[in-house]
Amino acid sequence: MNTLLKDVFGVFKFAEGLYAGIRKILVPPKAYSWQTFIYLSIFSWVLSYCATGYIKDIIAFFGWLFLIAGTAWYTTEDPLRVPGTFMPVGAVITGFLVSVFAFGDQRDVITPRTIVFWPTISALITAIPEFIEGNDTDAKARIPKPEDRQRIIILVASSMLLSCWIQFHFVTDNWLRQYPSLQADTFKHSTFIVRTEEAVKIPQNGVVILEKLQPIVVEQIAQRPWSEVEKWLLDAKQRVGNLGREIIKKNLSKYEEKELWRVEPRVTNTKSGYILDLLSIWIGPSSNPRGYYLKKSCRIEPVAAANNSENKITVAEIECDRASKLISGSPPPQQ
C-alpha cells in the first residue's frame, strides 16, 4: 500500500514539475516580455484569417512585426554565437524572418531575394547594437571603438560577399534554365560552375530543331516527281528557313534562347543526285569565336517508279542521317 501511494505521489510530483516547466515557458513573467510579442503575433495572424481586404493585410503586417520583435528579444537574452564570429544565432534567425517579411510574397514565402538578402540583413542586425549604449529606458547613439569598427566592417562585408555569391548562383541557374545550350559549350570549361550531372555534349534544343524538321522535309520530297524536287531544292533556303522558324516558335517557346537559333540548308550536287544538309546554327555566346552548329545530312536520288497509267516516271528518294552532328566553327557558305 505504501509503495502504491509513493508511486501515485511520484506521478503527481512529476506532473506538477512538468506543468511548472511548461507554465514557466508559456506564461510571461511580466507583461513586457518576449512571450507577449509572440502571443500578439499569433493573435494577429488568427485575426487576419477572419478579416478581408486591406484590414487583413494591416493585421498580418503587425503580426510579422510582433513575431520579429519577440524572436529577436528571446534569442538575444542568452546569445549563442555563430562559430568564428561575434554574430548571435538569434540574429541569423531574426534576419531570416525580416528577409521573409520584406521580400516574400503570399504565393511563395521563400523567394530567391529572401535567401540573397538573408546574410546581409543578419549582419546588419548584429551590428546595430554596437551603435547603441544604455538600457531599454535610457539609450543613445554612440560610435563604436576602433577595434569594434574593424570587426563590424569585416562581418558586414563578408555577409555582403556571401549574398553576392548566392545571387550569382540564382543568376547562373536562371541562365542555364533559359539558355540550356550554354551548358554544351560556353560553360563547358568553367571553373566556377560545377555540374552534378554528366555534362551535356550536344545542345539538345539544336537536336530538337533538326529532329522536328527532318520528317517535314522528307514528307515534302519523298516520292515526288524529280522535276518538282529540283525546283524545291532551288528554293530550299526560303522553304527550310520558314519551316525552321515555325519549329523554333512551337518547340522552344519556353526558352529565352529561341532567338539564338537559326535554321539554314546547304545543297550540294553529287553524281547520283543531291545532298541536303539541314543546319541548326547557334548564334549565341560561345567559347569558340566562330561558334558552332548542328548538321543532319539527307541524300536525295532519283529513282524510277510507275504511275497509275503504268508509265514509268522519275521520283525522288530521300534518306537522312539518324543522328545530328555537332560541328565547331562557322557553317559553310551558301552556294
According to the model, what pLDDT value does residue 23 have?
65
Ramachandran bin of 72, using left for φ above 0, alpha for ψ from -120 to 50, beta for the remaining angles = alpha
**Spatial separation of the C-alpha atoms in residues 305 and 282, rounded to whole Å:** 40
Residue 106 has pLDDT above 50, yes or no: yes
Q: Provide, rounded to the nearest whole percent, the portion of the chain with pLDDT above 90.
A: 21
Instruction: Kindly state the average pLDDT of the residues 211-225.
Output: 91
What are the pLDDT digits (tens) for 50-86? 777 778 778 777 787 888 877 777 766 656 666 666 6
What are the pLDDT digits (tens) for 270-295? 888 899 999 999 988 877 778 889 99
Query: Does 119 or 76 have the greater pLDDT score?
Result: 119
**Spatial separation of the C-alpha atoms in residues 56 and 77, rounded to whole Å:** 32
DSSP structure class, residue 80? P
According to the model, what pLDDT value does residue 215 have?
93
Please report which residue ranges of 222-271 form alpha helices under DSSP H.
Answer: 226-234, 236-251
What are the pLDDT digits (tens) for 308-317? 656 678 888 9
Among the ranges given (24-28, 85-89, 257-261), the one the predictor scored with the smallest mean pLDDT: 24-28
According to the model, what pLDDT value does residue 2 have?
52
According to the model, what pLDDT value does residue 275 have?
92
Collapse the DSSP code of 234 into the 3-class scheme (helix H, G, I; strand E, B; otherwise coil) and give the result.
Answer: helix
Instruction: Kindly state the average pLDDT of the residues 169-195.
Output: 70
Q: Provide, rounded to the nearest whole percent, the portion of the chain with pLDDT above 70.
A: 76
199: pLDDT confidence band, cut at 50, 70 and 90? very low
Instruction: Kindly state the average pLDDT of the residues 185-199.
Output: 56
Amino acid in the structure at residue 56: K
Q: Are 41 and 70 in contact (CB under 8 A)?
A: yes
- Mapped to the 3 state alphabet, what secondary structure does 90-128 carry? HHHHHHHHHHHHHHCCCCCCCCHHHHHHHHHHHHHHHHH
27: pLDDT confidence band, cut at 50, 70 and 90? low
Instruction: Kindly state the average pLDDT of the residues 202-213.
Output: 89
Extents of the domains making up the chain: 25-178, 204-328
Instruction: Kindly state the average pLDDT of the residues 93-106.
Output: 81
Burial (CB count within 10 angstroms: exposed 0-12, middle 13-18, buried 19+), residue 122: buried
14: pLDDT confidence band, cut at 50, 70 and 90? low
Q: Which residue has the cell 529565352?
A: 256
What are the pLDDT digits (tens) for 233-246? 999 899 999 999 99
Instruction: Kindly state the average pLDDT of the residues 2-20.
Output: 57
| pTM of the complete model | 0.62
